[in-house]
Amino acid sequence: MGRTLLDKIWEEHVVHQPVGAPALLYIDLHLVHEVTSPQAFDGLRAAGRRVRRPDLTVATVDHNVPTADRHLPIADQVAAQQIAALRRNCREFGITLFDIDSAYQGIVHVIGPELGLTQPGMTIVCGDSHTSTHGAFGALAFGIGTSEVEHVLATQCLPQRKPRTMAVRVHGELPPGVAAKDLALGIIRAIGTDGATGHVIEYMGPAVRALSMEGRMTLCNMSIEAGARAGMISPDEKTFAYLRGRPFAPQGAAWEAAVRRWSELASDDKASFDRVVDIEARTLAPFVTWGTSPGQVVAVTERVPDPAQAPTETERRAAERALAYMGLAPGMPIEEIPVDRVFIGSCTNARLEDLRAAAAVVRGYRVHPRVRAMVVPGSQQVKRAAEAEQLDQVFRRAGFEWRDPGCSMCLGMNADTLQPGERCASTSNRNFEGRQGRGGRTHLVSPMMAAAAAIAGHFIDVRQWKFK
Amino acid sequence: MQPFRVHTGLVAPLYRPNIDTDQIVPKQFLKRIERTGFGQFLFYDWRYLPDGRPDPSFVLNMPRYRGASVLVAGRNFGCGSSREHAPWALADYGFRAVIAPSFADIFANNAIKNGLLPVVLDEEIVQLIATRAEQSAYTLTIDLEQGEVRDPNASLARFQIDPFARHCLLNGLDEIALTLQHETLIAAYEERRRRRDL
């Protein structure tokens, strides 16, 4: 019987398997940020514990950093204290920190891969649910809470039950104008926001193989929105080509040895999964969420659904509540929904490829006069690379704001938030009530769709776009 | 962790699916660097009107639910962000258990580590409990030792929880201390890996 990618990584990392209890799993890489770590470091100090492997721990600041006026002191005193606490903790415990002025600073799930810290076959954790992003490289990567952050800091291990496995096979080819983000939303639409609870998803099939590493990261990133413990993709030549020469990737003979080892990781042909879901790529379209849960999503050419059609009373009430919050009426064509704000950013869609895709739509156009639009690159390196291609000029000329890297308006912990009632086309991952600011209305879309909405002033099918 | 054995308390119904951790504790309160004091921010945007006054229509603001310690909610409770601030806020507010048809994985883990018991019951039972709690003051006993939920009149349902989590909860164990007992095994594992990677 064949073994899955998850089986192989799991077996390699079991330090101890007590009878009837969770396995003690070794963690290869622990990523730390300012919001979910201060209480963990306090816990270590209170118990007189040390960080077992500071060399396997890397920190950055992303969640609450300002994305403008970085030369000035941080105006938000509480955020400034949190960042100062991370600096103190990293110094005290000997942890590498890519601070706000570092050339490597950025959203933790963007910098891990681009620095080559993220590698196939690894176990990776971070006090952030979108840690699933790193699974794009064939790693087992999952989000943890602060108590578990403390556990990993102290022991470099976590007691874990092996999750169940779900194969999501995507057949055929994604149609033009349909992005990795649309694939992710299409999968959530098919299986639901708790469709993969307790499972690790492995994405496979021709449409997944055809994705770039950036697209694979977008897909794995959204796994948590389907309830999955993690998302992963078996590594291949694309994975290795992406990592070669990155600052923390193995070099020389070690690189050759690593690639040999990584080449053995892919799930075996005969490997079996607890569940299998089949998706036909040709049935997918550019999607737009209409509600307050990522599963409340339709194609851009559809209409806002009628809650009366919901399968259960509970779902009907949830849909009514969502529509009231979103200020939408059943039957309204999605393309007639006007937007006030556009946010291109987040760990889902703020990599160079995302910015290129958005810039291609924007080139030669102006942002609609009613719309305020911003681009927040995922990292300093993404920002520099985009500027080297003059993408910043494309965005600025069109009327977009061009910001410094951070999580920004994905979760609105810094000054980048929606005002009550404002409607936003956002490339981020969550359309929860108040996520981008109290009373703010979030519609999740791909970078191309967000860019097109910024120009048109309403949602528009990017498959019909006239590129200049 | 705080031990959990048997708890009896008033039920507050919030029977909606997909209650995410952004609702449980909104992001503007995540900048504190302490573990304590998050109860005041629990369900903040639902509990308080934009002008800061309590919203009288929200369940936790109704006098009849004052002192509630058991929350009953819809499926996929705690989805979204991994913020442990969510169980910190629920526990600090006074909740000891949440009953729902399903929980998001990370939330359930975080809850257990804070002595807040996630109880998974069939959708019909959860709905029944929610309805009863909406109609009148309803008290439940959550018995982790027996794996049973009962009201003053009858046993309602059995529930399952991971046996290791149950063991830790019943005894209030420090999981980090348990792992540190395996120091020799961890060091041996690291040595094996180091030799392989040479």
Segments in A35-107 forming alpha helices (H): 38-47, 77-93
Interface contact flag, B31 A148, Cβ < 8 Å: no
Please, which residues bridge with residue A310 across strands?
none
B183 within some domain: no
Cross-chain CB nearest to B22 (options A144, A254, A435): A435
State whether residue B36 is helix, strand or coil.
coil
Residue A235's pLDDT is 98
Burial class (CB in 10 A: 0-12, 13-18, 19+), B119: buried
Give the list of residues 6+ apart from residue A36 with CB closer than 8 angstroms, or none: A127, A128, A145, A146, A149, B82, B83, B84
B13 within some domain: yes
The residue range of the domain holding B144 is 6-173
The count of CB pairs under 8 A between chains A and B is 170
* Residues A274-295, mean pLDDT to the nearest whole number: 98
* Number of structural domains chain B divides into: 1
Residue B32's pLDDT is 86
Asked whether the predicted pLDDT for residue A224 surpasses 90, the reply is yes
Asked whether the predicted pLDDT for residue A321 surpasses 90, the reply is yes
What's the CATH code of the domain at B36?
A: 3.20.19.10
* Residues A54-65, mean pLDDT to the nearest whole number: 97
Q: Are strands B155-158 and B148-150 parallel, antiparallel or unpaired?
A: antiparallel
B184 within some domain: no
With cut-offs at 50, 70 and 90, classify the pLDDT of residue A309. Answer: very high
B182 within some domain: no
Longest alpha-carbon distance in chain B: 68
Residue A240's pLDDT is 98
B197 within some domain: no
What are the angstrom distances between the C-alpha of A308 and each of A319, A331, B19, B195?
9, 11, 21, 63
pLDDT in tens, B150-179: 999 999 999 999 999 999 999 999 999 999
Residue B1's pLDDT is 80
Complex ipTM, two decimals?
A: 0.96
* Cα–Cα distance, A214 to A321 (Å, whole number): 35
State whether residue A145 is helix, strand or coil.
coil
With cut-offs at 50, 70 and 90, classify the pLDDT of residue A1. Answer: confident
Looking up tokens 């003051």, which residue turns up?
Answer: B137
Cross-chain CB nearest to A81 (options B33, B80, B186): B33
Cross-chain CB nearest to B20 (options A38, A142, A432): A432
pLDDT in tens, A371-409: 999 999 999 999 999 999 999 999 999 999 999 999 999
Q: Within the 127-186 window of chain B, which residues sit less than 8 Å (CB to CB) from chain A?
A: 127, 162-164, 175-176, 178-180, 182, 185-186
B42 within some domain: yes
Which residues of B fall within a CB distance of 8 Å from A439? 50
B133 within some domain: yes
pLDDT in tens, A172-219: 999 999 999 999 999 999 999 999 999 999 999 999 999 999 999 999
pLDDT in tens, B99-128: 999 999 999 999 999 999 999 999 999 999
Interface contact flag, B105 A229, Cβ < 8 Å: yes
Of the candidates A378, A386, A328, A346, which has an alpha carbon nearest to the alpha carbon of residue A362?
A: A386
Nearest CA in chain B to A198: B105
B151 within some domain: yes
Of the candidates B91, B26, B84, B177, which has an alpha carbon nearest to the alpha carbon of residue A39?
A: B84
